[in-house]
Structure 1
Amino acid sequence: MTVVLSEARRMARAAGAAMALRVETVGLAEADGRVLAADVVAATRLPVTDASAMDGWAVAGDGPWQVDGAVRMGAPPGSLTEGSARVITTGGAVPEGATAVLRSERGRVRDGVLTADGPTSPAAGADIRAAGDEVRSGSIVAPKGARVTPAVIAAAAATGADAFEVVARPRVAVVLVGDEFVVRGVPGPGQVRDALGIALPDLLQDNGAAVVTVERVADDLEALREAISGGGVDLVVTAAATGHGACDHLAGALDAASAHVVFRGVGMRPGHPALLARRVDGVPVLGLPGNPFAAVVALTVIGLPLLAGALGAAPPRPRRRVAAEAFTAGTGGVRIVPVCEGDDGVRPVRQGPSVVSGAVAADHLAFVPDHGVAAGGLLDVVDLPWRR
């Protein structure tokens, strides 16, 4: 059942794409970070009308020109007759009949008459931004599947949009498994402080999900079966109980729930015990390892592609970085290493699977292949969820 990392990422994205989330409409102020369910189409052109590219005067024909007033921002610009000029500011609507804009530093006014510095008038069309030069009416401002950013919001607002159609956030149930976890204070002998109960829901929500429940269950097969079988969700994410030990009951709970296991185990370290299954109602179950850093790794390299597939967004693709020092190979598949970005490339950050302290300062996760990478070689990296 163990699969290579690339196949696990492909399967996870496919599982997300099969979720078929609903579409909803949100206002521009609530849209940041959402994923577009439809193209954003310009309702108007930009500039809406011919506009001045500079402060100065809109002029008609050759000079000298009689100045007849000023273009008021936000008001109709009117028209100019041959030999006339009108004060205009950058972005102001150019009056009908204007042939050019004379920059303020290239002209002077005396007794209401504008003359150009130099022997010639400005060339026809000089410093005029033609209507529709930036955006044409009906053109695509942002495509379906794009993540809404402040830039997308500003561009959409400028072209007349008041709302977006976006993919609904997948509703996620988080299930934390184990008898040994405490949620406050310093853990005692045999106990472990819960490092994922807050961090895991936050990471999911930061990446497009809506966490609707967070449940802690004991190392008990029936309790776990009930926890992963709850209704009203699009995805279940568990932490711990994915291994093969006496207290690792997730596989048994899935079997008891008649779920189909897509894969159990991924060729990567840490994060090897990650699991993906599908309930009888089609809801995916993503099982993360119990060790905190291993869980973060599995969520980053498998969970984020799953969420991207559900939202119809582009998956987080690995990028190439230069290795500032040699990276040795691991065992059992791809070795995943937290790294920091430097002027000479990326360097590893010391990090064990059971804590996340080293990853606090890291920028990416590097995928070290089974033959290792020499200093100066290239590594595939993905951003850590909090560095995106």
Structure 2
Amino acid sequence: MSGREFFTTRTVAEALTGFRPAHRTPVEHVPLSAALHRVPAAAIPAPHDLPGFAKSTVDGFAVRAADTYGASEGLPSYLDLLGAVRMGTAPTVAVRAGGCVAMPTGGVLPEGADAVVMIEFTAETMPGTIEVTRPVAPGGGLVRANDDVTAGAPLVPGGRPLRAPELGLLAAAGVTSVPVHARPRVTIISTGDEVVPPETASLRPGQVRDATASALAGLILDAGGDPTIAGIVSDEPGALKNKLTEVLPHSDLVVVSAGSSVGARDETAGAVAAVGDVWCHGLAIKPGKPTLLAECSGVPVIGLPGNPLSALVVFGQIGIPLVWRLCGCATPPPRPNLRARLSRNLASAAGRLDVIQVRLADGVAEPLFGPSALLSVLTRADGYLLIPEPATGLDSGADVAVTLYT
């Protein structure tokens, strides 16, 4: 490092593709009840076929499909009722030519049958005789033993957060413990002589309560991380370096709130460079240019701007994908979004990603502006839109994608 300047400014796209620390959290086994949104360390194979037996998907009658060919309301097929299948038990009767067996939805398909005709297309014309008024093809009205999953095939892939349907599929296969990556331990360090804990009852002139750390902890929890607020470090030379040395062995990611600018007292870049390697200092993003990305002893470090809005915007773009990557997620899950019409012209600078907070009303996105020191801009926003690096702005009335806050 030389001087107080941004010396390796990168675009956000370059940061997302180029800043990829190899560190991953260790693997642990969790019960299925605690596995929602956790990331499997590897694909989990099916121990056996699912559902494991051929079963009916409708209420009706198990038949040989050939016995229903040509059936119609004017010329029905007539089949002998041979018995019935009970739920949860193996069939005690087989289907022969010209016969049928009564089936409940989910019942085991009896031997000899290759289809199930829906009860809506049947009638019992006399005791023991079933009239079929519509033909059924082989395989109709049923699922085969391995239609859901074949034994040995992946039940769920590795590297993708588990959703509710995957939990159900794992339960159906009898998998009750899942090997997942541990939640990333994310240490949040706040800096600045003017910053005081949130519980400070009375502020002296120039003091501010630490709002950013609590907000960052919320974002980290949402992304599946385990945040630890490590307190406030003074501007005294060497203090941040000492704090980094203390927390790095117990962290999967370290986030330094404030101190990454180029002011005379901003110590993050120097402290990080003293214990690791700086990947970039400066992102082509607004707000949030004075962002630092580094790797120290294999642990990624993010130095955020001091203004709360800038810090949270940058962490949303860079930090959240990194938290997911640390716990083995190949591609972070998409955030909900919708299309809206922009209410006014927006200017931008080519080569810079602009993140614009917006409020939504009747399909219209209204940009919200305010100093980066004001968190209220974020609290009033329903979401944000991006002006991509190549663009020089957006026109009023443009169709835009708004990423929603949830």
Q: TM-score, normalised by structure 2?
A: 0.82
Matched-pair contact (CA < 8 Å) for 1:288–1:295: yes
- Runs ≥4 in structure 1, deviation > 6 angstroms? 316-320
Unpaired runs of 5+ in structure 1? Answer: none
Matched-pair contact (CA < 8 Å) for 1:54–1:101: yes
Shift of 1:221: 2.6
Amino acid at match of 1:350: F
Q: d(CA) in 1 for partners of 2:15 and 2:401?
A: 16
Tell me what 2:162 maps to.
148
- Local SS of the residue matching 1:79: coil
Q: 1:333 to 1:59 in 2, by over 3 A?
A: closer
Q: d(CA) in 2 for partners of 1:188 and 1:89?
A: 75
Tell me what 1:333 maps to.
352
Shift of 1:272: 0.8
Tell me what 1:103 maps to.
118
- Local SS of the residue matching 1:305: helix
Tell me what 1:113 maps to.
128
Q: 1:332 to 1:126 in 2, by over 3 A?
A: closer
Matched-pair contact (CA < 8 Å) for 1:337–1:368: no
Tell me what 1:170 maps to.
184
Shift of 1:92: 1.5
Amino acid at match of 1:38: A
> 2:393 pairs with 366, 372, 380, which one?
372
Matched-pair contact (CA < 8 Å) for 1:201–1:211: yes
Tell me what 1:50 maps to.
54
Matched-pair contact (CA < 8 Å) for 2:190–2:210: no
Task: Verify: 1:19 aligned to 2:15, yes or no.
Answer: no
Question: Any residues of structure 2 matched to 1:48-197 within 5 Å, and which?
Answer: 48-59=52-63, 63-68=78-83, 70-82=84-96, 83-109=98-124, 112-118=127-133, 122-182=136-196, 183-184=198-199, 185=201, 187=203, 189-197=205-213
Task: Verify: 1:234 aligned to 2:252, yes or no.
Answer: yes
Shift of 1:282: 2.1
Tell me what 1:252 maps to.
270
Shift of 1:187: 4.5
Tell me what 2:214 maps to.
198
> 1:277 pairs with 288, 291, 294, which one?
294
Tell me what 1:5 maps to.
12
Q: d(CA) in 1 for partners of 2:293 and 2:302?
A: 5
Q: d(CA) in 2 for partners of 1:317 and 1:125?
A: 37
Q: 1:41 to 1:346 in 2, by over 3 A?
A: farther
Question: What is the identity percentage for the equivalent residue pairs of Structure 1 and Structure 2?
Answer: 33
Q: 1:124 to 1:365 in 2, by over 3 A?
A: closer
Q: d(CA) in 1 for partners of 2:401 and 2:135?
A: 58
Q: TM-score, normalised by structure 1?
A: 0.86
Shift of 1:131: 2.3
RMSD: 2.9
Q: d(CA) in 1 for partners of 2:253 and 2:154?
A: 32
Q: d(CA) in 2 for partners of 1:260 and 1:187?
A: 37
Q: d(CA) in 1 for partners of 2:102 and 2:123?
A: 12
Shift of 1:316: 6.3
Q: d(CA) in 2 for partners of 1:124 and 1:148?
A: 35
- Local SS of the residue matching 1:229: helix
Task: Verify: 1:36 aligned to 2:40, yes or no.
Answer: yes
Q: d(CA) in 1 for partners of 2:224 and 2:393?
A: 34
Question: Any residues of structure 2 matched to 1:216-231 within 5 Å, and which?
Answer: 216-230=232-246, 231=249
Shift of 1:222: 2.2
Residues 152-191 of structure 1, C-alpha deviation per residue, up to 9 Å, x if partnerless? 2112222332222212222221101122234135755322
More deviation, 328-337/170-179: 328-337
Q: 1:323 to 1:372 in 2, by over 3 A?
A: farther
Residues 13-66 of structure 1, C-alpha deviation per residue, up to 9 Å, x if partnerless? x12xx1133222222111111112101222222332111121122245573323
Shift of 1:266: 0.9
Shift of 1:6: 1.8
Q: d(CA) in 2 for partners of 1:46 and 1:84?
A: 28
Tell me what 2:282 maps to.
265
Shift of 1:74: 1.9
Q: d(CA) in 2 for partners of 1:114 and 1:98?
A: 17
Q: d(CA) in 2 for partners of 1:243 and 1:124?
A: 70
Matched-pair contact (CA < 8 Å) for 2:125–2:131: no
Question: Any residues of structure 2 matched to 1:306-321 within 5 Å, and which?
Answer: 306-313=322-329, 314-315=331-332
Matched-pair contact (CA < 8 Å) for 1:320–1:378: no
What is the total number of aligned residue pairs between the two structures? Answer: 378
Q: d(CA) in 1 for partners of 2:138 and 2:275?
A: 76
Shift of 1:240: 0.7
Amino acid at match of 1:158: A
- Local SS of the residue matching 2:174: coil
